[in-house]
Structure 1
Amino acid sequence: MGALQSSRQTGGVRGSAVQAPLLKLMTALALALAMVLSMSAVSARADEVNLTPGPTVTQDPNSPTGYTGHFVYYNPTATSVRFVADIMLRNWADPTDTTVYSPFEYRPGLMRGGGGYDVEMTEVADGYWVTDVPLAAGANQYWFYVDNDTSYWVPDPANSPIFAPDGIQGTARRAFNKVHVPYDPVKQNYAPLAAREIENPRADSPKGTWSYVPFEVNGTTRTMGVYLPPNYDPNRAEPYKTIYMQHGGGQDQSDWMNMGDVPVIMDNLLQDGTTEPAIVITTNTNYLGAPNEGYPNLRNVVIPFVEANYNVSTDAIDRAFAGLSAGSFVTQNLMRYDTLRFGYYGPWSGGAQAVLATVPNIDKPYILYGGGRWDFGLPNANTVAALDQVAFVENVVVAGAHDFNAWNQLFTIWARDYLWHPEAFILDEVTTLKDAVADTGLNKGNRNALTVKLDQALKLVPKDENGGAVDVLNGFVAQVNAFESNGKLTEEEAAGLLVIANQLLSNLGYWQQQ
């Protein structure tokens, strides 16, 4: 039914900037005629249209993605309804292409991140508003505007997120409804899009549970979102690790558990064996306390509550904290004022604070910056690179904008590739050291003696053998000093090697002692 719609695509449209006026006129007339005819056809066939409220995703040979989303919203008092979704497309395969594409123009290489697709829905029966649109793999977000009131992002009553009882209310809340779409390997045929299937529920995956758990903050009952992994064991000998996820503006502790897809992604990663069982906590910024005090209620209330009521580790290296947009500011303020509270930080889509490079102990935690390529909050690469000179930092850019198209991917990458993997953060420093050794005037045997030590240290870290890695790196430092003393290394060459080696020793040695 895609031809039935009058499109208001706010993200832009595909096409040349200069077209013949006659061609424009003919195209406009053809579209108008098609719309009139199709509207009449729908009215005549209203009894044939699926009017089940909510989204229905069907395999469709006529869809450019192989799947069509059929959306039905029931509201008998509405005079108009707009369907809005963050499904406009950009060219991830070709960064030089600045065009924003409609979902109807999908081809392999395009990814969501072009902004909001906005279309008037068609009333095909009394109070039943309908629209169809091609959709691609993963979790797709959508909402409604009723009677052109854009101040209220209307939840889909047939497919509503499960909101926290003490969360944002009314027009302050942005309702991100979610619909999952399979991957068509023929029509979608693009590896980065295939990777987004991790966001889709699997019938055969062991399922974790999640809920909003009440607790007391300053005499008031509030809630936090809590995800427990499949087969959570309160008596497991090895305590679980914890991941704290922070929301953005217009959101609360609900969003990572709903549109953010954390429970589904965690279930799937655990089934694949690509992450460790962990408890995920979502909190509301409003009750965490003062930013310039490192959010004392997080430190003094939330974390103690979690550690008293769940079988989780109390070691900082087993805690992680990440946030999107406004939640990135929370994350970076924690990095600034309560640096050692968490072993891993993920500030996403909220820029990068240059002042962090001067924070004491900033070389201890492992930090993953990230954002969408078309994201206005994408961290400044130069600021991140400067921080990487004094800390252990990685930076990931994914297909997406300032939306959950980017954030779902970032959570997947973080939980799968970076969390509980310090070797992923020190790899750059070890590689830099190896390159620097290769550039010295040492003979092959002496270069090999240093490089072997670096490789050995890197292999020990993922085995939780930081002590062994520290011993090996101390041997590296001693050998560099010896080579300088006997004139095999210049003072400048030795100094360059020792600066990075001592950064590694400071980091690994700290966690070894905890």
Structure 2
Amino acid sequence: MKFKQAIIVSIFLVIGQTCLAQNRISEDFKPSTLNQPGQEYPEVNSQGYARFKIKAPDADSVRVSLGLGGSGGTRLVKGADGFFTGTTEGPMDEGFHYYHLTIDGGVFNDPGALNFYGSTRWESGIEIPAHDQDFYALKDVPHGNVQQILFASKSTNTQRRAFVYTPPGYEKNKSKKYPVLYLQHGWGEDETAWSNQGHANLIMDNLIADGKTKPFIIVMTYGMTNELRWGHMKDFKIEPFQTVLVDELIPYVDTHFRTIADKDHRAMAGLSMGGMETHAITLNKPDVFSYYALLSGGIYTPEELKGKTKPKLIFISCGSRERPDGVKNAVTALKDAGYNAVSYVSENTAHEFLTWRRSLHELAPLLFRD
């Protein structure tokens, strides 16, 4: 009996030691690449943990809320020096994350981090290095240009803003014309998201340098989504933005840039709520776009496409922690109905920017092939 008890105790000791080894946090922390110049915190380590340090000597409570909107989060502990410090309970997903601080009930940004527009406000950002980050890395290759444009919108009686990516060589060859992708952000974000958080320009630069995609223009504008509160997406009306995009922005771009101004050379894609916008506008205006892409933004069905001009490509993607079976099943149904449809699932990611960076990387080579 004592022998059996000894064996059981030994087994529990081994299990305990294994768990401790698995939960041991490596101390190879380095400043996040998205820190303000000269700031050490927040830090990230090789396992994906994040560590925060905030000076708030008069505060009683500091919590870090991570993710779009921010919830729950990491409680920081106050030291005698007035600094609150803490490390996430577990490793974070690779890629970009929004976060903010809650200090004694008030919401603040981390003074050590750069800010990015998300959750309908400027949020702090942190980058967890990804094993495949090379495809959106800043490299010594020819670079395109991202420029701001301002265009008049009679329908809203405003001057509106968009950002336009033109590929490497656009300024030199004055006779060449290019296809265009209209690329939409998600709820809580704006027209800066795909360049700042998504690295769309770097993804394109690297693909073009490797000869993996045709050069094309990307146009990114505000989708008029943030007037709705989170949870009320069903109340969103597409018509005002559809008018801005189709009747005002596209004609402006075709007039001011060297575009191939026809349906066969025009694509629309969007992440999350931008995917919902893409879905609605491409169904309402099938003679405007030939390539459709929903990135964590729903699906198409053969029934809703029936009787409309057939697109050249339908691309549907999501993270493996979202609803990958729904994406795969939708694409199978579209293929069975005779559509050129492609699915993509980003491994080990959820509703987040690494999913969408990878999705754009997969989508771009499929656009404008003919």
For normalisation by structure 1, the TM-score amounts to 0.54
Partner of 1:510: none
2:340 alignment partner in structure 1? 392
> Which AA in structure 2 matches 1:318?
H
Equivalent residue in structure 1 for 2:271, among 316, 324, 328 = 324
Cα contact 1:139–1:200 (8 A) shared by 2: no
The one-character-per-residue Cα deviations of 1:241-297 (angstroms, maximum 9, x if unpaired) are 222111122222222122222122222222322223322211112189952588122
Aligned ranges for residues 121-200 of structure 1 at < 5 Å?
121-122=76-77, 129-131=84-86, 139-147=95-103, 155-161=109-115, 163=117, 172-173=120-121, 175=123, 177-179=125-127, 181=129, 193-194=131-132, 196-200=133-137
Shift of 1:371: 0.7
Listed as ranges, the matches of 1:199-214 within 5 Å are: 199-202=136-139, 204-214=140-150
* CA displacement, residues 354-380 of structure 1 (integer Å, 9 cap, x when unaligned): 375444334233110111111158744
Q: Which amino acid in the other structure matches residue 409 of structure 1? A: R
* Preserved contact between residue 116 and residue 125 of structure 2 (Cα < 8 Å): no
- 1:119 is matched with which residue? 74
Cα distance, 1:300 vs structure 2 = 0.9
1:411 aligns with 2:357: no
Corresponding residue to 2:39 among 24, 32, 52:
52
Shift in Å, 1:122? 4.7
Shift of 1:212: 3.6
Conserved? CA contact 1:235–1:311, under 8 Å? no
TM-score, normalised to structure 2, is 0.72
Residue by residue, what CA displacement relative to the aligned partner does 1:190-232 show, whole Å, maximum 9, x if unpaired?
Answer: xxx43x3212323x23333324432222321221122233343
Separation in 2 of the partners of 1:330 and 1:410?
Answer: 17
- Could you list the per-position Cα deviations for residues 431-455 of structure 1 after superposition, in whole angstroms to 9, with x for gaps in the alignment? xxxxxxxxxxxxxxxxxxxxxxxxx
CA distance in 1, matches of 2:216, 2:244: 22
CA distance in 1, matches of 2:177, 2:78: 54
Q: Which residue of 1 aligns with 2:194?
A: 256
Residue 85 of structure 1 deviates from its aligned partner by 4.5
Residue 176 of structure 1: how far off its partner (Å): 6.1
Residues of 2 paired with 1:404 and 1:368: CA distance? 17
Q: CA 1:118 to 1:391, structure 2 compared with 1: closer, same or farther past 3 Å?
A: same
Pick aligned residue for 1:239 from 177, 180, 184: 177
Residue 63 (structure 2) aligns with:
82
- Give the whole-Å Cα distance in 2 for the aligned partners of 1:294 and 1:80: 42
- CA distance in structure 1 between the aligned counterparts of 2:201 and 2:291, rounded to whole angstroms: 20
SS in structure 2 of the partner of residue 295 of structure 1:
helix
Amino acid at match of 1:52: Q
> Structure 1 unaligned runs (5+)?
1-19, 36-50, 87-114, 184-192, 422-463, 465-514
Please state if 1:228 is matched with 2:166: yes
Deviations 1:34-85 (Å, cap 9, x if unpaired)?
x9xxxxxxxxxxxxxxx82554567xxxx447xx766555566654333344
User: Residue 376 and residue 149 in structure 1: after superposition, are their counterparts in 2 closer, same or farther (change >3 A)?
Assistant: farther
Higher relative contact order (CA 8 A, sep 6+): 2
**SS in structure 2 at match of 1:341:** coil
Equivalent residue number for residue 283 of structure 2: 336
SS in 1 for 2:193: coil
Between the aligned partners of 1:148 and 1:132, the Cα distance in structure 2 is 19
**Shift in Å at residue 301 of structure 1?**
0.6
Q: 2: distance between equivalents of 1:327 and 1:379?
A: 18
CA contact under 8 A between 1:72 and 1:130: conserved in structure 2?
A: yes
Report what 1:374 is aligned to: 321
Instruction: Give, in whole Å, the separation in 2 of the partners of 1:297 and 1:335.
Output: 14
Q: Which region of structure 1 is more displaced relative to structure 2, 379-388 or 216-225?
A: 379-388
The amino acid of 1:81's aligned partner reads: V
Per-residue CA distance 1:444-486 (angstroms, 9 max, x = gap)? xxxxxxxxxxxxxxxxxxxx4xxxxxxxxxxxxxxxxxxxxxx
CA positional deviation for 1:302: 0.8
Matched residue of 1:256: which SS? helix
Please state how far the C-alpha of 1:141 moved relative to its aligned partner. 1.9
The equivalences for 1:288-327 within 5 A come to 291=238, 295-327=242-274
Residue 233 of structure 2: aligned partner: none
Compare the two structures and name the one with the higher strand fraction.
2
Q: 1 or 2, which has the higher helix percentage?
A: 1
Residues 64 and 56 of structure 1: CA distance in aligned 2, closer, same or farther (over 3 Å): closer
Within 2, Cα distance between the matches of 1:381 and 1:327?
20
Q: Tell me which structure has the larger Cα radius of gyration.
A: 1
**Count of aligned residue pairs for this structure pair:** 329
For the Cα contact (< 8 Å) 1:377–1:402, is it kept in 2? no
In 2, are the aligned partners of 1:318 and 1:343 still within 8 Å (CA)?
yes
Residue 175 of structure 1, CA deviation: 2.8
What are the residue-to-residue correspondences of 1:364-513 with 2, within 5 Å? Answer: 364-376=311-323, 379-388=326-335, 389-399=337-347, 400-415=349-364, 417-421=365-369, 464=370
Once the two structures are TM-superposed, the CA of residue 337 in structure 1 deviates from its matched residue by 0.6
Q: 1:116 to 1:64 in 2, by over 3 A?
A: farther
Question: Quick one: which of 248, 270, 275 aligns to 2:213?
Answer: 275
Structure-2 residue corresponding to 1:188: none
RMSD of aligned alpha carbons: 4.2
Distance, in Å, in 2 between the alignment partners of 1:159 and 1:281 is 28
Whether the 8 Å CA contact 1:398–1:406 is kept in 2: the answer is yes
Once the two structures are overlaid, the 10-residue window that deviates more, 302-311 or 125-134, is 125-134
Maintained 8 Å contact 2:74/2:87 = no
